[in-house]
Amino acid sequence: MAKTIAIVEDDADQRANYADAITRKGYLVEAYASRAEALSGFAERLPDLAILDIVLGEEIDAGFQLCRALLARAPTLPVIFLTERIDEIDKISGLRLGAWDYLPKPISLEYLAERISSLLRIGEVRATGAQGGTSARRLGHLLLDQDALIVSWKGERIDLSGTEFRMLAKLVRQPGHAVSYATLMNATMQSLVTNNTINTHMRNIRKKFEKVDAGFECIRSEYGFGYRWAIS
């Protein structure tokens, strides 16, 4: 069955362009022009992935509110912010809410379609719960499966976004060695990334590990340079 992609965008032309491009890739599209319309649609059925603008009409933070509502009901739902609001504080806010990606407008429709496909693949693999295959790497209490994009700590599953997973993979490649901000920025595969953006990602990753292990302290900050994975 085709996956359903929700698009929440108040600009009619942009909404139509996104919908056309995504439909051509074989997905079903539910397009909404406002937060109220989207909430009504989500009440009937949740999408498999949501693309949210932040400013919708007169509501300057409508996308953030929608993200909270969606993730409260489905914490693992992939959410992409697609917006002209590219200030660092907005990006950090989006990441803290649990968005899987934060993309600036304008954007290539082909790239957007590829990001959707990528995030859906990650979601599907995670839904199977498969881990520990030939691509898995064990490092102390950490199990990291590159193919399945699954992480576990002390046998407990850690749900990371695609960006968080890539950053963690970079970090543990050479345990005990500092990894620079520049290297971690490349791992995000995003534009307009700053040191503070990396710090936000790392705080989010730490918090997810600490939920299953209050004593977790393997991610160490290297002031002014980056981070390292401390060998436990």
User: Given a cut of 80, is residue 123 above it in pLDDT?
Assistant: no
Per residue in 169-194, pLDDT (tens digit) is 999 998 999 999 999 998 887 767 88
135 close to 147: Cβ distance less than 8 angstroms: yes
pLDDT of residue 162: 78
Q: What percent of the chain has pLDDT over 70?
A: 93
112 close to 133: Cβ distance less than 8 angstroms: no
Architecture of domain 4-125 in CATH?
Answer: 3-Layer(aba) Sandwich (3.40)
pLDDT of residue 126: 66
Across 25-54, average pLDDT: 97
Work out the mean pLDDT of the chain and round it to a whole number: 89
Hey, which CATH number is domain 131-229, 1.10.10.10, 3.50.50.60, 1.10.8.100, 1.20.1070.10? 1.10.10.10
CA angle 208, 216, 69 (to 5 degrees): 15
- Work out whether the CA dihedral 221, 225, 229, 232 comes out positive or negative: negative
Query: Residue 49: CB partners within 8 Å, gap ≥ 6?
Result: 3, 4, 5, 6, 77, 78, 79, 80, 116, 119, 120, 123
pLDDT band at 53 (very low <50, low <70, confident <90, very high): very high
pLDDT of residue 94: 84
Measure the CA–CA gap between 164 and 200, rounded to whole angstroms.
10
Instruction: Give the position of tokens 């995670």.
Output: 126
Q: φ, ψ for residue 76 (rounded to 5)?
A: -100, 5
- Work out whether the CA dihedral 61, 190, 73, 93 comes out positive or negative: negative
User: DSSP assignment of 69-94, as one string?
Assistant: HHHHH-TT--EEEEES---HHHHHHH
Q: What percent of the chain has pLDDT over 90?
A: 65
User: Given a cut of 80, is residue 122 above it in pLDDT?
Assistant: no
Of 87-101, 132-146, 213-227, the least confident: 132-146
Measure the CA–CA gap between 69 and 80, rounded to whole angstroms.
14
CATH 1.10.10.10 location in the chain: 131-229
CATH 3.40.50.2300 location in the chain: 4-125
Query: Residue 226: CB partners within 8 Å, gap ≥ 6?
Result: 178, 179, 180, 181, 182, 183, 184, 198
Residues paired with 50 in a beta bridge: 6, 79
